[in-house]
Amino acid sequence: MLTQRSRYALRAMLFLAEQPISGAPVPMNRIAAEANVPRKFLELILADLREANFLTSTRGKMGGYRLARPAHLISLGEIIRVIEGPLALVPCVSRTAYRPCNDCKDEAACAIRQAMARVRDETARILDGTSLADAVAEDLAAA
C-alpha cells in the first residue's frame, strides 16, 4: 500500500498539474489547503520533489511552487519512487535496490519471487504509463 506521504505527494502534484504552467507560483499554503495536506508534511514532501527536479520554487512574497516540466512528462511512477523508493514489494525483485531474501533457499525457482516480479512489472507499467496530465484528465472525465 502507498504510504500517506506518497498520497500527499500525489495530491499536491495533481493540484499543481491543474495550474497553468506559465502562471504565478502557487504558495505552499494554497497547495496544502487545496490538496488537503498538512503543511508540516507538505514542506518536506515539496523539498524532496524539488530536489528530484519535479518542481521549481520561488522565494518571497509572490513565491511558491510550480511544475518543473509539463504535466505530461511527469509520471505517477516517478513521483512514487522519489517518495517511497523502489516499486518492488520484496527486495529480491527490485531493479534499483536488490537484496536477496534472508529465508529463500533457491531464488531462481522461488514462486513468490516470480509472482512479485510480475506484480512489479505491471505496477511499473501502469504507474510509469500514467502522467500527471493523464490522471488530471481522467479525474475531470469522471466528474
Q: How many CB atoms lie within 10 A of CB 110?
A: 17
- Per-residue confidence (pLDDT) for residue 30, from 0 to 100: 96
Q: What is the pTM of this model?
A: 0.86
Q: Which residues pair with 75 in a beta bridge?
A: 131
Residue 143 lies in a domain: no
**Same-domain check for residues 85 and 42:** no
Instruction: Indicate whether 36 pLDDT > 60.
Output: yes
**Same-domain check for residues 128 and 86:** yes
- Residues 98 and 90: their CA atoms lie apart, in Å, by 9
The residue ranking higher by pLDDT, 14 or 21, is 14
**Same-domain check for residues 86 and 104:** yes
What 8-state DSSP symbol labels residue 91? G
Mean pLDDT of 29-53: 95
Number of domains the chain is built from:
2
- Per-residue confidence (pLDDT) for residue 141, from 0 to 100: 60
Instruction: Indicate whether 37 pLDDT > 60.
Output: yes
Task: Give the orientation angle of helix 39-51 with respect to helix 28-35, to 10 degrees.
Answer: 110
- Residues 34 and 11: their CA atoms lie apart, in Å, by 9
- Per-residue confidence (pLDDT) for residue 94, from 0 to 100: 83
Copy the grid coordinates of residue 135: 490522471
**Same-domain check for residues 81 and 132:** yes
Beta carbons of 75 and 130 less than 8 angstroms apart = yes
- The pLDDT tens digits for 44-91 are 999 999 999 999 999 988 889 999 999 999 999 999 999 998 888 888
Domain range holding 129?
Answer: 75-137
- Per-residue confidence (pLDDT) for residue 138, from 0 to 100: 75
Tell how many helices (H) and how many strands (E) occur in the chain. Answer: 6, 2
Q: By CB neighbour count within 10 A (0-12 exposed, 13-18 middle, 19+ buried), where does 3 fall? A: exposed
Place 20 in a pLDDT band, splitting at 50, 70 and 90: confident
Distance of CA 25 to the CA centre of its chain: 20
**Same-domain check for residues 92 and 119:** yes
**Same-domain check for residues 92 and 51:** no
- The pLDDT tens digits for 91-130 are 888 877 888 888 888 888 888 889 988 998 999 999 999 9
- Per-residue confidence (pLDDT) for residue 72, from 0 to 100: 96
